[in-house]
Amino acid sequence: MAQQDRKMIHEMANALRLKSKSSGQGKSRFPVLYKMGRSGDFSGAAMGKVESLLNSKRFFPRKDMRRSRKSATAGHDRVTASNVAGVSYRDGEVVGAAAPEIGTENRGRAILEKMGWSKGTALGALNNKGMLQPVPHIVKTTKAGLG
């Protein structure tokens, strides 16, 4: 589990008055939670703390904005738009699996339709025997299995 994800779970456990610790090594580290005598019942106030943690930008920051170092003149963090991807994928996820179908106003689709393609027909072969779905790309972040 990623360090940022473990940190979020530890802080939520603290808000619920649970004991937490991380176990394992390297990328296989994971949090372990224990209910203690001081934990008590989960009240609305405790759940409110968890909800405020989840709603804070600290755990779910915008990916299309990047914080720059503190400005020497202003003394405040500046947030600037950058060329950072708006979506991040994890190992094993399919890129674009939840993407909507391309609309009719798309230029590429318009060109295909002018060349005779229509929705539901295949690409790349005669007699509608080509590909119906795009080739899926599965994210691979490790180097295992290469070469």
pLDDT score at 145: 74
- Helix H or strand E segment including 19: strand 19-23
Q: What is the mean pLDDT of residues 91-104?
A: 83
pLDDT of 120 over the 90 cut: no
State the average pLDDT for the chain. 76
> Does residue 118 carry a pLDDT above 70?
yes
pLDDT in tens, 21-74: 888 888 888 889 888 877 777 777 777 877 777 777 666 665 655 555 554 444
Q: What is the pLDDT of residues 32-44, one digit of tens each?
A: 988 887 777 777 7
Mean pLDDT of 118-122: 84
Residues in contact with 31: Cβ distance below 8 Å, sequence separation at least 6, in sequence order: 1, 6, 9, 10, 13, 20, 21, 22, 23
CB atoms within 10 A of CB 34: 10
Stated length of the chain? 147
CA dist., res. 46 & res. 53, Å (int): 11
